[in-house]
A and B are shown apart, each in its own frame.
Chain A
């Protein structure tokens, strides 16, 4: 089992006092400012993920990507396949924000918000509750199989599996209405594909968070590979202060480091033990580092123990470490050309998106010529063409629309002239259009369909169509 405890090398402790520190720091995993932030983010993201799908809105699920109806609901907004441009813009915004965040704060996303980090954190927590701290887990892994070990393992796997299944269920609940899904689960009438996707996503969660963990970040994540391109010497990263720490070495508590010819690093390896990717941050910036700041919390506790100032490992920038800057200088370097350009582009796109959504038409009409029926002559020298009008009410209220046709002298239509559509619904109406044979030229003629909202003439669509005369 590739958990982090078995990845880091076993450590031999030279100093009894440091062993104490180890006992205090590690068994309770990492505690500290950044650990607290990580847990806050775990709670926020997961409350959002597990909770949002249950929220009702206007009698439907507030956030639902209804694949079957081909409509996306996000609170009051309804997106149709015709709105795909918004989705594209949204993705661009997501990408740009990631660029911006990365340029300023390094891998903040990875350390605090990425589902991979968050689920690993939760799965690790379960593991820790059941199998104990790092050394207990290492012992358990090395121990021969006993009833106790089997029981611990089984409990862990069952809990992991339950959580993974719940995650899979929630995931599918964003694509098919979750309340219906819930009742179908309990009446054992879940469709084959829904079951497939619940298990598929659940299995992925289990595999990624339970077993692969840091390997996902190191070998599978595309972002980890190109984030380096967004870094510059003013990007905040988790950094070990080399000048202050070296030469490292074990020592007793007491004398000032300089007086015994040592730096501040007591070489306790605790920063390595808490690291979820198992690297040694003292070797400098590495692409494996997900910026979780666990090593900052850990080393700060060691520094406290030793009576040294905190921050031997800290959030800092390359320039700041070189120039021994404080926070004031670091912040004053945030507004640099790269950041300003990223922000400007980002705001421009966001404003365009909001404008587009606000001005989204509330009525849409697609005119489709009936493929099966071409033009045909009917009684009294009239020619008939058949159309299907796909009327989409994008608004959040029930609406009635009037359909009229124009473009040729004497043109008229048969069929429903009034369509009534509930909120955010669509309907295809079949319309037979008739016109006198001599009203137009042989071949195709341009006609127009007008669909108007009865209560507000301004909401109207003027659609072109072709009328064939044989």
Chain B
């Protein structure tokens, strides 16, 4: 059994806050949008909580961003520039999740401190962290003070455009949260990734000498 330190403390800290915050944002956001259908809390409470946690998450995003910008760990987010290589690797990863994993085949992607994401994770997290989360934050801030940011709201095409973008990303996350939590349970044991991300920072890599030959971890 080999242990690799893949989730440094700032990343874990960011992730704890983000996970709790996101769930709260999804709940309050749903309450705000569906008054009368859902009755978790009053509309007013939902608005107030949504605004506060929103700002906490924006601050929190900078923990993540600054950590990666000022360490060489940013390499985990470097994209694979060759499309053929990327798609081949993604396909292999898909095959693994759709078949190999049930057979007990090894994960075609080998985790290391500088290469912790498989090709599909890598693409997904780039889009999420550099596009969707910032866009969600910007549209959120604009909606927070439509009057004060009148110029910016108008520039982006009016309050309906801004709000629709905010809602579309929310809808994406309504899918992503389920997906993400489930994928997190597909480690060598169901809780392996959770322990790594929420507690230790270390991923445990099982050594299976002789199995598959090519996989040297």
Chain B associates with chain A = no
A interface residues with partner B (beta carbon < 8 Å):
none
